[in-house]
Chain A
Amino acid sequence: MEWGVLERLRFAWSLLRTCLIGECLQRGRPTANPQFQNFSFSFVFWIDASSIGTITQGLKGICNLPAAQSSGLDGSRESALYWIGSLKENYIMVLDNADILSPAELEDYFPTPGKWGNILITSHNSAMQCLTLPENSLEVTEMKENDAIELLLKSSCLDQSRIDFQVDALEIVKELFCLPLAIDQAGAYIASGATTIGEYLAKYFEHKKTLLSHSEFTGASKYKRTVYETWELSYNEIKKRTESDDSHKANAAKGAMLLLELFPFFHHQEIAEKSFLMLPF
């Protein structure tokens, strides 16, 4: 019995490292812009601001940075904020996913000698503008059609110069409202070999009909449904592979399903490779 579980996890891990889920996990991560790296900041503090708990964890982590430790921080949030605020170097603090905290609550986590330095906030909440001023705010909206096509072909691992692919891609990105997350998931599905780009929409529509009849989707926005559908298609493809005649493939897929059922209980940024390295094999 024990070995049954271990075997399944081992297969799951091999799958994670090599193929489909590895790709899915990779895609679940935030996709920071490589061009932003060319910006010259001496320090980048990337704080997950989705809750007070995650901010606190991040600030504790800052206390453990070698540069901070030599300044004698005591591990408290105040000491971390004071240390950052007193830096003479040009730093940026990114408060990422500040969706739930109120602007006043978030402002408590700005570095304290507040004279210099840079702060970038990402949030669902446009009311955060009161912290930055409206002229220092920008709404991120859906992608331009051409960019969306490029993203879909990149994530599908298809030749971007082929006109026929571009034509198929245009139809798909229109249907997905040029929403990057949905497009990236659709691309992962196509790249997995579960469908061709030309047949993707037929599968998507077939699935949409079933999904829309679920009562839980009453009132969901068209955007949320789009992301749910693109994800669900990939999930079902893995499910299908559990019935494969190839027992190795079937077991790997079973392990993958198991992990996908576990991961929703984890914090979205804490699904580290490290968790798998700790498995006893």
Chain B
Amino acid sequence: MVLDLLQINIHNNDGNKMMSDGVIPLMPNPSCRFTGRAEVIAKLKKHFFNTNDSAQKRKCFLLYGMGGIGKT
């Protein structure tokens, strides 16, 4: 019953808006508890903001690791 209640309200107020219009992909809010990771940050900065690159070209980078390790 509670599930029904929530569904009804979400549906009535929002219709299928989220489904048809998509979700504007915003960056998550920064966390005030973010701690450490100096090496990762240095590597990302170097990769994306290395001004020595003469020709402007696409830059891709991968951060991988198990869930909960702090990639996002």
Contact = CB atoms under 8 A, between A and B. Distances in A.
A119 B61 contact: yes
Interface residues of B, number: 54
B25 A118 contact: no
Contacts of B18: 57, 270
B27 A132 contact: no
Contacts of A187: 33
A174 to B, nearest CB: 16
Contacts of B33: 31, 151, 154-155, 184, 187
A146 B36 CA distance: 9
Nearest to A230: B68
Nearest to B1: A5
B28 to A, nearest CB: 4
B2 A60 contact: no
Interface of B: 1-3, 5-6, 9-10, 12-14, 18, 20-37, 40-41, 43-45, 47-49, 56-72
Interface of A: 5, 9, 29-37, 39, 44-48, 56-65, 92, 94, 96-97, 99, 114-126, 128-129, 131-133, 136-144, 146-148, 150-151, 154-155, 179-182, 184, 187, 223, 227, 258, 262, 265, 270, 274-275, 278-280
